[in-house]
Amino acid sequence: MEKEKQVIAIDGPVGAGKSTLARLLAHRLGLLYIDTGAMYRALAWLVRKRGIDPTDQEAVEALSARCRLRFVQGEETCLWVEEECLSMLQLRTEDLGQLASQISVYPGVREALVRKQREMALEAGGVVMEGRDIGTVVLPEAPIKFYLEASVEERARRKYEQLRQAGKAVDLATISAEIQARDQRDRSRALSPLRAAPDAIRIDTTKLTIDEALHLMLEQVRSCGRQDG
């Protein structure tokens, strides 16, 4: 398989290791990394900034159709949202995650963002794209699909450690409840719910280090390349 044609889809619930592993995989394979969750978060940020009521479906959908989103990749990836460039750190807050999950159920929002995601993949040629519906809806033709999962306890523990290291006062039980609420919403929505594509390679990262999971994924990519070539 030619490197510039490699398209890798990664899906899974919050905290399964998608962002870290997608970023590392893209780096190792020289592909563009696209974090679609950041796009839903950026829209949530804009909804808040404009003072739009997130339950006003029509207003949120209208905003999603006209807002411009553009990734600037570099040492520190950022996402241009209209007139502002937001860092991943600014976007990765729990409240923006919950708001993103809430507005991502609207059909108009999904349609607008999926269209942008497909355009980005097409423009890039080779891409590692990660989210909830990449293998099932956005890039169903992707030759390599991963579905990452991990136990709720482990996902809560990882988040707890991340926040603690960032100097934030956190409570493990609250984090666990937030993760379960988000899982429930992302899995049960009518449109493009979180689920594994039938041909996805499932990896449970609960007991794996990042290096071990990355190694498994690289092996799979190489073996798909051998089968193709």
Residue numbers at the binding site for ligand DC (CB under 6 A): 14, 36-37, 40-41, 97, 100-101, 104, 131-133, 182, 186
Which residue number, 2 or 85, has a Cβ lying nearer to ligand DC? 85
Beta bridge partners of 125: none
- Whole-number minimum distance, CB 26 to ligand DC, in Å? 15
- Whole-number minimum distance, CB 205 to ligand DC, in Å? 15
- Whole-number minimum distance, CB 35 to ligand DC, in Å? 7
Of 4, 31, 28, 8, which is closest to residue 125 (Cα–Cα)?
A: 4
Report the C-alpha dihedral over residues 195, 190, 117, 133, rounded to 10 degrees.
0
Q: Which residue has the tokens 């563009």?
A: 32
Of 46, 169, 63, 62, which is closest to residue 100 (Cα–Cα)?
A: 46
Report the alpha-carbon distance of residue 117 to residue 129 in Å, rounded: 9
Which residue number, 38 or 214, has a Cβ lying nearer to ligand DC? 38
- Whole-number minimum distance, CB 135 to ligand DC, in Å? 10
Which residue number, 88 or 224, has a Cβ lying nearer to ligand DC? 88
Report the alpha-carbon distance of residue 31 to residue 7 in Å, rounded: 9
Give start and end residues of each alpha helix (H) in the chain: 18-29, 36-49, 57-66, 88-91, 94-103, 107-124, 152-165, 172-188, 210-228
- Whole-number minimum distance, CB 161 to ligand DC, in Å? 17
Which residue number, 34 or 221, has a Cβ lying nearer to ligand DC? 34
Which residue number, 6 or 117, has a Cβ lying nearer to ligand DC? 117
